[in-house]
């Protein structure tokens, strides 16, 4: 049960989009007033108004405007919204869109670790109490 849950959550994290900030021209819809609706959440794309929005900044490496919670990941070379960290074991950034799956994966192995500790500590000790042949020193041999 732990193995299946851990494997599913691992696949969800490793194969899902962490929240990559996409460029304005990548399929965005212009509403005619110079506002892109593809990840910029109503931020005006004109140069004068983009800096007026609090917290938005331009990433020179990705050539995109980052929302306030986005950070450029040097490992993946993309900007990630809600960036938490780059996980070397997953080979993926952990961001806004895959954070829940990442926490599910962490909980699955922590619960397995807790299960293993309880098994070894308490249930493993119950098996040691029953010794059908006894101690050789007690039998006079």
Among 98, 97, 65, which residue's Cα sits nearest to residue 79?
65
Radius of gyration of the CA atoms of the chain, in A: 26
Q: Please state the φ and ψ torsions of residue 125, each to the nearest 5 degrees.
A: -70, -30
Dist. CA 26–CA 73, nearest whole Å:
20
11 belongs to the catalytic site? no
Nearby residues of 51 by Cβ (< 8 Å), 6 or more positions away: none
Hey, is 91 helix, strand or coil? Answer: coil
Nearby residues of 69 by Cβ (< 8 Å), 6 or more positions away: 81, 82, 83, 96
Report the DSSP beta bridge partners of residue 58: 65
Out of 4, 59, 73, 87, which one is annotated catalytic?
87
pLDDT above 80 (res 140): no
pLDDT tens, position by position, 65-124:
988 889 999 999 999 999 999 999 888 999 999 999 999 999 999 999 999 998 888 877
- Predicted confidence at residue 93, as pLDDT, reads 94
Hey, is 73 helix, strand or coil? Answer: strand
Regarding predicted confidence, which is higher, 132 or 19? 19
Q: What pTM was computed for the model? A: 0.66
pLDDT tens, position by position, 35-63:
444 445 545 555 555 554 677 889 999 88
Mean pLDDT over each residue of the chain, to the nearest integer: 77
At 135, is the pLDDT very low, low, confident or very high (cuts 50, 70, 90)? low
């Amino acid at each position: 049960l732990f193995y299946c849950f851990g494997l599913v959550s691992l696949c969800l994290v490793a194969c899902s989009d962490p929240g990559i900030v996409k460029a304005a021209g990548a399929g965005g819809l212009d509403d005619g007033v110079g506002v892109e609706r593809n990840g910029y959440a109503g931020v005006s794309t004109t140069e004068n108004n983009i800096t007026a929005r609090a917290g938005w900044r331009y990433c020179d490496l990705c050539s995109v405007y980052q929302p306030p919670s986005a950070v450029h990941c040097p490992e993946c070379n993309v900007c990630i919204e809600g960036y938490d960290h780059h996980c070397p074991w997953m080979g993926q950034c952990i961001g806004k869109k895959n954070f829940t799956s990442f926490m599910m994966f962490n909980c699955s192995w922590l619960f397995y670790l807790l299960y293993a500790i309880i098994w070894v500590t308490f249930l493993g000790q119950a098996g040691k109490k029953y010794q059908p042949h006894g101690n050789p020193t007690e039998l006079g041999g």
